Amino acid sequence: MANHSLKQQLGSLYLIPTDLGNTALMDVLPLIVKKKVEALDFYIAENEKTARRFIKKLVPDKPQPALHFEVLNKHTRPMEIPGFLKPCQDGTDMGLLSEAGCPGIADPGAKIVHLAHEKGIRVRPLVGPSSITLALMASGLNGQNFSFHGYLPIDGHERKKAIKKVERISEEQQQTQIFIETPYRNEKLFADLKRHLHPFTQLCIARELTQKTEFIRTQTIAEWKNTKVDLHKKPALFLIQKGID
């Protein structure tokens, strides 16, 4: 009974999705996200400045001085992280914010979620836009079997090997392969995909999802060689599949 009572006193960790770009927030987020942000004062975020800006945009009347942030990014020292969930351990609900999209998906917040499970803290994911899921939905490629690789190597030789490898896996397993690139390197990646992939391999490019300038198209590499698309400094996902009947 004592352990059950203790668990009941813990706060919950809410996984709060954000928008994917300059969009009207209530066009892409359900009302429950707004209600939770109204109620929460303790947050973990990758960047405090952009997190505060998001909260201000979503809930303009929420007092900013009342907000408390822990910052989780590549500069965070590992020994700091266990203390981030102290409010939850003290019985206060917290929010985990992503820079874009859903926390824990291609996002450092996964470390916090894993830690919450270790500490017996209830994790409560909220609905919101995920660029990976949206791109897969819209691609027409295999949504039953897929793999997300993050970034492919930058080095030209290693990138060629990686492109050939994911194409081979895609054909052997009939699996959609998903990856991203830093926006200013998109054009180079696109050129490499056209150079190294088989002409009949399907490639979907999903750019600026949920925004007014959204672009999504799936076609063969042979067709892409005759198609112009502006990818420079624009967030995009690339999805490939070889061997579609």
Q: Does residue 1 have a pLDDT over 50?
A: no
Do 131-241 and 2-125 have the same topology in CATH?
no
Residue closest to 73 by CA, chosen among 99, 53, 52, 95: 99
| pLDDT band for position 169 (cuts 50, 70, 90) | very high
Q: CA-to-CA distance for 196 and 193, rounded, in angstroms?
A: 5
For residue 159, give Cα distances in angstroms to 40, 84, 138: 43, 37, 26
Name, in order, each residue with C-beta under 8 angstroms of 186's C-beta and a sequence gap of 6 or more.
231, 232, 233, 234, 236
pLDDT digits 0-9 by tens, 12-45: 999 999 999 988 999 999 999 999 999 999 999 9
Binned at pLDDT 50, 70 and 90, residue 119 comes out as: very high
CB atoms within 10 A of CB 45: 25
Class for the domain spanning 2-125: alpha beta
Percent of the chain beyond pLDDT 90? 93
Domain ranges of the chain: 2-125, 131-241
pLDDT of residue 5: 47
pLDDT at 8: 57
Per residue in 43-90, pLDDT tens? Answer: 999 999 999 999 999 999 999 999 999 999 989 999 999 999 999 999
List of residues 6+ apart from 27 with CB closer than 8 A: 210
Model confidence, pTM: 0.90
Q: What is the pLDDT of residue 22?
A: 86
How many Å apart are CA 131 and CA 225, to the nearest integer?
A: 25
Q: What is the DSSP letter of 207?
A: E
* Residues whose CB falls within 8 Å of the CB of residue 51, separated by 6 or more in sequence, listed in order: 43, 45, 69, 97
Tokens representing 61 are 């009347």
The token pair that represents 48 in the structure block = 């405090």
Give me the chain's average pLDDT, please: 94
Going by their DSSP bridges, the two strands 236-241 and 176-180 should be labelled as: antiparallel
The CATH class of the 131-241 domain is alpha beta
Evaluate if residue 115 carries a pLDDT over 90.
yes
Q: Which helix (H) or strand (E) holds 125?
A: strand 123-125
pLDDT tens across 195-216, in order? 999 999 999 999 999 999 999 9
Whether the CA torsion 76, 79, 80, 85 is positive or negative: it is: positive
Handedness of CA 53, 56, 59, 63 (dihedral sign): positive
